[in-house]
Amino acid sequence: MPSSLHVNPSPLFGKRDPDSRGYFGEFGGRFIPETLVAPVEALTAAYFEARRDPEFVAELEHLLATFVGRPTPLYEARNATAGTGVRLFLKREDLAHTGAHKINNAIGQALLARRMGKTRVVAETGAGQHGVATATACALLGLECIVYMGAQDMARQALNVFRMQMLGATVTSVDAGSQTLKDAINEAMRDWVANVATTSYVLGSVLGPHPYPLMVREFQSVIGAEARAQMLDAAGRLPDLVVACVGGGSNAMGIFDAFIGDPSVQLLGVEAGGRAIADGEHAARFAGGAPGVLHGTRSLLLQDTHGNVLPTHSVSAGLDYPSVGPEHAWLASIGRTRYDWIDDDAALDGFGWIARLEGILPALESSHAIAWVQRHVQTFKAGDVVLVNVSGRGDKDVDSIRARLGLAVTGTPV
């Protein structure tokens, strides 16, 4: 077949594919039941065909511009770094439609589902942002939407549950296990197995069997492509450091993607340190994980000596997951990225820091990345340029933050 047929019409696609089995180094692949082999193969073929189709890419880019509101702004947070000589830039994914980066991927996968002739979509959600984004995309494209969400997450993200319902989605509570994101993914996959003829599974992060880690990263890579151009315009050069929170890792892979080939740019992912780095008290896979298989892919996994998945904890529902995207694990293994963790209390401090000084309420997930910068800003050199991905807005978290801090509604700042 002529190579010209494989030229992608967008710079977002086809830059760094895994091998033919879906592996990034030793991580990735497909670990799925026989009943999912055919639908995953069909999804793979449809995705690789769609990303080469100028009409598909043009429709995606049109919706990103006119519906999602891209490009999102790059904002220099001068107040937060006053007196340090450090330039801190925030990529404002919180200003995308629905309030987070999740819409970039949801629109892409929903378009693909419609292209494949599917009429029904299932999705999982933790913090609720992927659920809201998927419900939004399905409303736009006329698809039935069922979202699975852990009962614990539904309680702490009640606003997002109502938003999904208002958008026409059915939100199904998952009462099994830890009642969080891991369990929601389990139920979404079960639904997909039972309804493969009519249903597409819109996975929200760079997880799952191939092609999901690649597909989600490519749909999210618009973040990094924009940020790179915006940094060159605003600062006249690339950043010294790019920081993003990492749950499954889609917002981080989205912004890291544009800088992977620039060795001068450090890439840092910030995980959820929870209450402590002890079994069941955190979700920092790079601090306590080992290679293992979960939800169809091989990556780093929090597990006991018998291979049983450990429970996790984070103040942020979107980071409360025992594994991480396989491409993150691979990039760390080759030394291209590094990972640190921030505990619950520090994340809350980071939320308050950027809220009071910059007038921005970040999501608790994003607050982990912001808190890392807050903790380390005095160690940077004057003239250093730091870029942080504000992956989502914190409206959804205000009630849970208030409850955690034990605050009544008063006239006193948090």
Catalytic pick from 124, 187, 218, 281? 124
Is the omega angle on the peptide bond into residue 71 within 30 degrees of 0, that is, cis?
A: yes
Instruction: Note if 144 is an active site residue.
Output: no
Catalytic pick from 10, 93, 102, 396? 102
Q: Which residues, listed in sequence order, are joined to residue 303 by a DSSP beta bridge?
A: 309
Residue indicated by tokens 């511009």: 65
Task: List, in sequence order, every beta strand (DSSP E) within 139-182.
Answer: 144-150, 170-174
- Report pTM: 0.94
Dist CA 38 CA 16 (whole Å): 25
Instruction: Note if 200 is an active site residue.
Output: no
Helices 34-50 and 181-194, axial angle in degrees (round to 10): 90
Catalytic pick from 366, 391, 396, 400? 391
Per-residue pLDDT tens, the chain, 414 aa: give them: 333 345 678 889 999 999 999 999 999 999 999 999 999 999 999 999 999 999 999 999 999 999 999 999 999 999 999 999 999 999 999 999 999 999 999 999 999 999 999 999 999 998 789 999 999 999 999 999 999 999 988 988 888 999 999 999 999 999 988 888 888 989 999 999 999 999 999 999 999 999 999 999 999 999 999 999 999 999 999 999 999 999 999 999 999 999 999 999 999 999 999 999 999 999 999 999 999 999 999 999 999 999 999 999 999 989 999 999 999 999 999 999 999 999 999 999 999 999 999 999 999 999 999 999 999 999 999 999 999 999 999 998 888 898 888 755 455 566
Instruction: Note if 124 is an active site residue.
Output: yes
Catalogue all structural domains in the chain, each as residue range(s) with its CATH number: 22-66+102-216 (3.40.50.1100), 69-99+221-405 (3.40.50.1100)
CA 102 vs CA 105, 142, 173, 248: distances in Å:
6, 19, 20, 12
